[in-house]
Structure 1
């Protein structure tokens, strides 16, 4: 099987610039979405630094003589170790930049990354914050990640809360992000893909504007992967576009067609977009403001 991926980002209708970044690295079957936060446009810096740091880590560790900056966890697969280490490297670089530069002080970013292993027929997802990963399979949708948010922490600690009490809880406060501390805990998920599965990585500018049913309908009724991204973003804007919006769609295909050209696309600075026609993947940036997103 192979992964066919495309990404797209949009500033939305109520923001004056885009603080999201995403990356499609087809040569590693690696896909990343980051949602930056921080004043003075530092969210742009954080999200771009996250995607570039993870991409650089994968390039540098592709050599057999490569050294890793973290202890190899023998309870995890090599792919899980690599994805987790890449995210932790990005966290350290963002944290160090934030304490060196006054303009970048307090910046951070959420991140969700997916790594597809053809050899093991597994897809590994690592995430920090409230950027999400979904899987659409045979007419149903599942959220694979759990938001690292104050709202979720309350729900887990007090599941007996009524709907009225839940409605009063703040929903825009995240409890974990890259750059908040010099180390970070990364949640990992492993999934066995089936032919036809579609995985969606997105910022909360998309998940906050679309219901699961709306996402499912768009993905299920659209054939081309780039068109799925376009329609998802258009619907998020139609529903209000309150934040930057990023969608990265990965479809698992078992066709024996000729291999797609390898390419790497990494989101440029906010307010710009770049499209690589090699694998029809688009790359740029999405949202935030520190541990509480504005």
Structure 2
């Protein structure tokens, strides 16, 4: 039971840390957490051959990806920030105005790479419905991205696709994880409710499904496909292939609950997507 509480102790995208090599938060203070660091002070592990980029939906892959790569003698660089998908440096989302600055710094960092790398890029595509464009602030004491005007969703989608294509043009290999279906249930609560009813100490769980937004995930996949055309160096990863069945969302797998916090995958969910769609079935 203890191991499961540790996995679900806090959001997966905030767990990975490097207290030895501390970094600088995008807002300027020192942190050990890997999420939200400036790219120049990013968490770096192993041979740094992989780069994880995106918002909190990318952050859930921190630990699972790091572990899989370590087993293969490889490593990664973490370039994630909550509500900071990989778009142009004049677009932002939600209530976090760091995205323009973060993406500007990401590109400055990426352009310094001397050898091709493998990128894993993940986003919460629902946010692309409400993009904003940064405008110069009238108050010099405020971040210029705080004042903004709403823009058309297609601008965000196109910008995202353009950034991915730029990486490939530079010789990098890119894996893009498509929309992760949102379950219509609090999976963490449901998982622990079932866990407490089991007798054995280390149970093997049965696959369980519940109503969810698989249809929407398929629609977002078509949307992204309309902007992101197939080409060498691009690998499209569809989580619906392992998370959806007959229109329902898989909420619990053999190792445990697959979600933790809305549409965010748990460690178990992230590891399953990586193992079943990328590392055990390379495309």
TM-score for the superposition, normalised by structure 2: 0.33
Question: Quick check: which one's strand share is greater?
Answer: 1
Structure label with greater radius of gyration: 2
Provide TM-score, normalisation by structure 1: 0.32
Structure with bigger RCO (C-alpha 8 Å, 6+ apart): 1
Structure showing the higher helix proportion among its residues: 2
